[in-house]
Structure 1
Amino acid sequence: MNPSAASSDKEAIIELAAWLRLQYLPGVGPVAARLLLARFGLPSQLFAASREALCELVPARLARVICAPPGQLANSQLALTLQWLAQPGNAVLTLADASYPPLLLEIPDPPLLLYVRGHAELLSRPGIAIVGSRNASVQGKQNAAAFAEALSGAGLTVISGLALGIDTHAHEGALRGAGSTVAVIGTGADLVYPKRNTELAQRIAQHGCIVSEYALGLPAMPGNFPRRNRLISGLARGVLVVEAAAQSGSLITARLAGEQGRDVYAVPGSIHSALAKGCHSLIRQGARLVESVDDILQEMGWPGQHISTPTAAASETPLLAALGFDPCDAGTLAMRCAMPVGETMAALLALELAGQVERLPGALFQRCKC
């Protein structure tokens, strides 16, 4: 091995160890860590500072913590991280890296470290986040995939959270376009949650990017996901909410987007659908109502060809025309069509199997726009 290369590798490991040591300092979060770095420079310089110099900026108790030797957690994470970095496609970005996503530097509490699988350059490309309900309707999933594919096809990177429902279909649609996709996850980057998305995560790591601020090996914990939402919105120029109930976690992402100065877009739905309540609330609060991808591209001033999202089915039957786009029960629909209820149920079943109608809770049916 070239001696200069060996020396460079050693210096990189020492610097990484200092970043990990800072990340695991008790009582020091991202905001406090950034203040310390602004005063002392790199983490290695911070840990070389005297207690007296530290006390000029932080309480004596915290100065003692900073001056103490690295803890067992930081040392074990260094060994685990080095092993993980030896695998192709894995990287760790620190606040000091030139390739750290510039939009994240604009938020109040950017992570000290980002653990990345796949194409890290996607984190710095123009992107839009797509979020929504985990328990999405068939129509909501179709909308998420269609919007994501068209936005990715226009050259935007689609950012989401790898959750079931809207997130999953947004990633799937985006992988079919040139802009690809970024998954911001709430576990360590070496884990996949939920397990049902393991195969999807593998494709994202190969063709897109998976990113996490959490330590390797950290499992899914309830508090991780609301916190990671600030990164979903922070990496994006805007956030599109496709489908969300009144208390949906997607509304947290939308709120954070507004606080970060990002645009918020929402797809409207039926006034009778619980999964449209969150989007309607956002629109009342000033989110831009979106009916097609072209609405977003024009609002962003995105150059190039504008692509409209398909909004109508290729064929129309009398039953679909009578159903409209609001949820309806079979009895009411039978009266509208002057058909026996049994015959109406059989026709609805055929349409459901064809993917044109969705069965909802409460014995209701809703048309799917294909």
Structure 2
Amino acid sequence: MTLILENLTHAYGQTKTLQGVSLNVEKGEVVSLLGPSGCGKTTLLRLVAGLEHLKSGRIELDGQLLATEGHHPPPETRPVGLVFQEHALFPGMNVAENIMFGLKKLPAAKRQERCRELLNMVGLAGFERRKPGALSGGQQQRVALARALAPAPSVMLLDEPYASVDVMLKREMREAARLLLKQAGSASILVTHDPEEALEMSDRIAIMSDGRILQVGTPEDIIEQPLAPEVAHLFGEAQMLDGEIDGDFLNTPIGRFRIPGGSSESMKGKLYDLVVRPTGLSYHADPDGEWIVRDLRYSSTGRILYLTGANTDSLSVVRVSTGFGAPPVVGERGHIDLLDRHAFLFAKKSH
């Protein structure tokens, strides 16, 4: 079973929200739509759910037409489950009644059996009689997921489902939700603006910007082989700098970087975007160096140096990861080299 989105477009009045988006999601696959607010992620989800009308393009599921510009089945007839940030549980119903809401066509015994199965799946056995108001935010989210999974939908759509959950619970809930989605075997689409969430939840990630998909790939592909500066900039506390190739160096407004392996003749004198993560730089102490250590801080991956150019009064800094070795000294001078990994040069597009 495959969900196929082919050349979808949409607009609100004169404002284009989707511009020729195409994406396939396989049975049992979790695909994240990652990008900033307003890039079209939620609109895409609403089109699949039937909450918005297509302007053009087509949506197919397992070879069957689901929607086109002139074909718009109502949401309740589509084999789609939805989980939103607000959970949207019915406050007057208990947990069991919420979960069984979409199972009215089944005999009572079958509804109750399915409810027990789902409560066990989401770790809420024994919570059947509780009302949503008596549950924590994390428990409400699990009930919402169970309710969406109850009719065994072919497609699961999740729109920022963890945005209102306490930070300490997010990782645990992501792991549990991914296991449930894989167990259910649905083709699942997760909307998020959180890169870490996309990495932890997804088999593949679709990076969106201005109503288009910039790149689709596995988490490893997206991290290690970004195809555009906007993609590279999303991960690993990356910084983006304008630069011009000067010999084997890249000159930027905040300092000069040595290019690994040097530059080619075709690169020299041209303008580039440098997208670099702290792990894409190496620092070497040198009293004649062009950079000064301004601060040292710690992260879960090690020590981070904050440096500025020695020959500029600019407050702009560059972050360098140095692991857990002996720390440099604030005020110390040194050199920075770009590494082969996690430092990306993109030729600026001519207009």
Q: Which of the pair has the greater relative contact order for Cα pairs under 8 Å at 6+ separation?
A: 2
Higher strand share: 2
**What's the TM-score once normalised by structure 1's chain length?**
0.29
Higher helix share: 1
**What's the TM-score once normalised by structure 2's chain length?**
0.31
